[in-house]
Structure 1
């Protein structure tokens, strides 16, 4: 039997899928992609005679049925997810069922929207003397968040933060963050990072909610917050001429 590949398609730009991921899409016999989020240009490289399924309108059971039938018929199946499938990708529930059916799986990582958003801003999450921790989280919605991971509790660390799936509740996001971050803390909202219609809104906790409203952003956006978005930080020791390490002696 063949196996199924769970592929991270990246944040949107067709060139940001990995080489390995693209090669698998190119030779796959069956392509199942998350059509509500994955840029359709990414799967244009598929074989003309491959079977194509848009999972946006499918149930878990329907997706699994297509995969199992395909693999048992020795077809290569590419299950294409947006960003990196390990973050809010809902792949675990698929893989567990496939394992029970003796279907071999492989996960091909991709570029996440939170790193793509930082790239769009030309910012670094981990600046010396500012933050060495990145928190990826979301607000509770139809999928609940454990109480201990409430945004207000996480904000107490004042780390660099990437907030997924929450821009439609930007007012609530600001309210919770403001319990611990200063009101002038920089914050950015990046909609459809790396897509041709990418939109960036910059502000502080004081004014970002109004700016997002004026920009008409209600979905498919990443919220980045923290002092890493500012301009004050210490230089890295890695390239400090007085710093000795394995590959260089300090002067």
Structure 2
């Protein structure tokens, strides 16, 4: 299957087609949205947005005359007909999700339904909360000789995770683990994480990353429940569990004078 788009967003000016643009708004701050996303919002005829998760400041990019539809109280059965009807009427529709659409956004079911209705669509990525949180912490989550993998996951709740992806089994890797949608189940989360991570493993408890009221607490894993319950965090909370958050001085090979590669030979460096 070949995917293509008719627009050329990088050119600076483009006209939107009558189709659905599934767009990631990023973690919350308007200036953390991609340039392509900003251009889509500036020109869209209709914006169908997750108003419980997308801060209102994001809508400042939209046209004054654009139709804006919040979906917090809607179901898929009411959202889809709106988007399909608008596209069939010749309008461009931005379906605005928080973060990045590839993570916990329920776009799979929307894509299937749009395809069945023969409605054109395009997915435009956004920055995820784990990326914004790491940036706020001035942290690299992959430190040489310490941790080289990042796991993005959640604990079972209303939506079960597959048995092969239970949190305790993923914790066994002791990778940088980014735990989404789990604040309501923080006791079970901490219990499973402690089966493999040491109690003093750093955890960043990140609330509403990218929003004006953003807060981050950096604590040992053993205090993850205490902080969550003390601050009454029940939603819009991300946990970063990683030894990288307390890494000692380290050096990668990438810019090491002894490391040669396609663009830099060891002889050139020494010379």
Q: Quick check: 1:130–1:233 contact (8 Å CA) kept in 2?
A: no
- Following superposition, the deviation at residue 212 of structure 1 comes to 2.4
User: Structure 1: 5+ residue runs without aligned partners?
Assistant: none
Q: Distance in 1 between matches of 2:186 and 2:134?
A: 19
Counterpart position of 2:231: 215
Which of 115, 118, 128 is 2:134 aligned to?
118
- Secondary structure class of the residue paired with 1:200: strand
- Following superposition, the deviation at residue 13 of structure 1 comes to 0.4
State the Cα deviation string for residues 96-115 of structure 1 (Å, max 9, x = none): 00001111110000000111
Structure 1 residue runs of 4 or more that deviate by more than 4 Å after TM superposition: none
Q: How does 1:1-251 map to 2 (within 5 A)?
A: 2-232=18-248, 234-250=250-266, 251=270
Q: Distance in 2 between matches of 1:53 and 1:198?
A: 25
Q: Distance in 2 between matches of 1:132 and 1:149?
A: 19
User: Structure 2: 5+ residue runs without aligned partners?
Assistant: 1-16
State the Cα deviation string for residues 38-95 of structure 1 (Å, max 9, x = none): 0111112211221111011111011110111011011000000000011001001001
- Following superposition, the deviation at residue 218 of structure 1 comes to 2.1
Which TM-score applies when normalising by structure 2?
A: 0.90
- Secondary structure class of the residue paired with 1:207: helix
- Following superposition, the deviation at residue 233 of structure 1 comes to 5.4
